[in-house]
């Protein structure tokens, strides 16, 4: 007697997208070997990939659903008609009923997956459509200019880095068309992908934790001067990896003297264990001197901190750190940037001396991290 799993493997496999497969995983139990294919884990449906795949999913949805339904109907007909493939002489009534039930389940699954995908794609599209990136950018810039003026600082003395992590390419294009040129990304693979598809005059700031084994790919795939700054250097190991990657660049079009990567030293000004960065004082100063001495392809352009939410003393601490690093390196204090302040506190950071602020959700809208695969 032909078993159900064996019979199911004889069925033609419908063409489905990874998104549909992941959605289907929510509808069938984890023990099912449905269609003889292992359904990808729902974790593979990341917030990064979902917006970019939704259009493709829409295009293939009709074909996929039709194929799934047709396959189910075809197998049900073979089982129910008493054909030689599934005649009573080869399959007992229990097996026939079981296979028929699974075939019916396939048809229902296709319809449910269709409904879910259409709803999800519609929600994603509607959510993105409500974000007026140009207007949000104009509002943030206006607030920065006003705060700079209030502090009697030169106009244009504060850089706005638009933090676009997890956001679809379309929203970055909107920001670019509105004049934004400095973008920040937290994940190496996401930055490399976006940099390859967006205009070459964008200055990319890497602002997330960077593993040392990702340093060379990041530098080589993005290249200079597109990769303007790695803001999260907090170890000699990472600094050396970045330095060597820059030194080995073969397609750099500038002069050897200009073949340098800007970096910020990340400082843990709040002292929280959950935050990355160097401790203020000796640890910070010693690393700054070591990089200046041993990493000629790196330019220490400033300091960066995240700080504790609502604790403005973290900004004051970074100001003090800058003075100590400047003295240790023998450079002017104002030659070092202060990257501090995000969507909720960038105006306060400017009041305390920030020269670079990292603003994301205020420009691009809230992020959904529920299914994010961090790079």
* Residue found by looking up tokens 């068309």 in the block: 177
359: which strand partners?
A: 162
Please report, for residues 4, 58, 158, 332, 373, the alpha-carbon distance to residue 321 in angstroms, rounded to integers and kept in the order given.
Answer: 69, 52, 19, 13, 34
Whole-model pTM? Answer: 0.67
Tokens 């890497």 found at: 206
Average pLDDT by stretches of 10, the chain with 375 residues: 40 39 39 36 35 40 45 46 42 49 52 48 52 97 98 97 97 98 98 98 98 96 97 98 96 89 98 94 98 98 96 97 98 98 97 98 83 48
Helix H, strand E, coil C: the string for the chain is CCCHHHHHHCCCCCCCCHHHHHHHHCCCCCCCCHHHCCCCCHHHCCCCHHHHHHHHHHHHHHHHHHHHHHHHHHHHHHHHCCCHHHCCCCCCHHHHHHHHHHHHHHHHHHHHHHHHHHHHHHHHHHHHHCCCHHHHHHHHHHHHHHHHHHCCCCCCCCEEEEECCCCCHHHHHHHHHCCCCEEEECCHHHHHHHHHHCCCCCEEEECCCCCHHHHHHHHHHHCCCCEEEEEEECCHHHHHHHHHHHHCCCCCCCCHHHCCEEEEEEECCCCCCCCCCECCCHHHHHHHHHHHHHCCCEEEEEEECCCCCCCCHHHHHHHHHHHHHHHHHCCCHHHCEEECCCCCCHHHHHHCCCCEEEECHHHHCCCCCCCCCCC
Task: Please give the pLDDT value at position 254.
Answer: 87
Q: Which of 350, 338, 233 has its CA nearest to residue 292?
A: 233
pLDDT score recorded for residue 369: 63
């Amino acid at each position: 007697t032909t078993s159900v799993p064996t019979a199911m493997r004889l069925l033609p496999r419908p063409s489905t997208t990874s998104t549909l497969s992941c959605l289907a995983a929510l509808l069938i139990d984890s023990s099912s070997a449905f269609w003889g294919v292992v359904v990808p884990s729902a974790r593979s449906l990341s917030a990064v990939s979902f917006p970019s795949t939704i259009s493709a999913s829409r295009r293939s949805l009709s074909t996929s659903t039709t194929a799934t339904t047709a396959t189910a109907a075809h197998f049900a007909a073979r089982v129910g008609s008493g054909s030689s493939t599934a005649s009573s002489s080869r399959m007992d009534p229990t097996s026939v009923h079981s296979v028929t039930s699974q075939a019916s389940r396939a048809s229902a699954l296709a319809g449910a997956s269709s409904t879910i995908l259409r709803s999800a794609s519609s929600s994603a599209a509607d959510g993105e459509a409500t974000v007026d990136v140009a207007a949000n950018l104009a509002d943030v810039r206006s607030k920065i200019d006003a705060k700079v003026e209030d502090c009697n600082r030169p106009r244009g003395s504060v850089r706005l880095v638009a933090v676009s992590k997890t956001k679809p390419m379309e929203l970055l294009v909107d920001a670019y068309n509105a004049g934004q040129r400095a973008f920040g990304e937290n994940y190496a693979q996401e930055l490399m992908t976006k940099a390859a598809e967006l205009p070459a005059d964008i200055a990319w700031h890497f602002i997330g934790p960077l593993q040392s084994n990702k340093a060379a790919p990041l530098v080589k795939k993005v290249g200079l001067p597109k990769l303007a700054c790695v803001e999260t250097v907090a170890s000699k190991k990472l600094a050396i990896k970045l330095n060597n990657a820059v030194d080995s660049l073969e397609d750099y079009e500038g002069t050897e003297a200009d073949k340098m990567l800007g970096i910020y030293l990340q400082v843990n000004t709040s002292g929280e264990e959950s935050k990355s960065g160097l401790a203020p004082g000796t640890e910070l100063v010693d690393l700054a001197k070591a990089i200046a001495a041993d990493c000629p392809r790196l330019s220490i352009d400033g300091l960066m901190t995240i700080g504790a939410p609502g604790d403005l003393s973290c900004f004051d601490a970074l100001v003090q750190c800058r003075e100590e690093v400047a003295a240790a390196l023998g450079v002017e204090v104002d030659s070092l940037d202060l990257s501090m302040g995000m969507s909720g506190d960038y105006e306060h950071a400017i009041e305390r001396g920030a020269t670079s602020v990292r603003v994301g959700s205020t420009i691009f809208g809230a992020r959904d991290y529920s299914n994010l695969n961090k790079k």
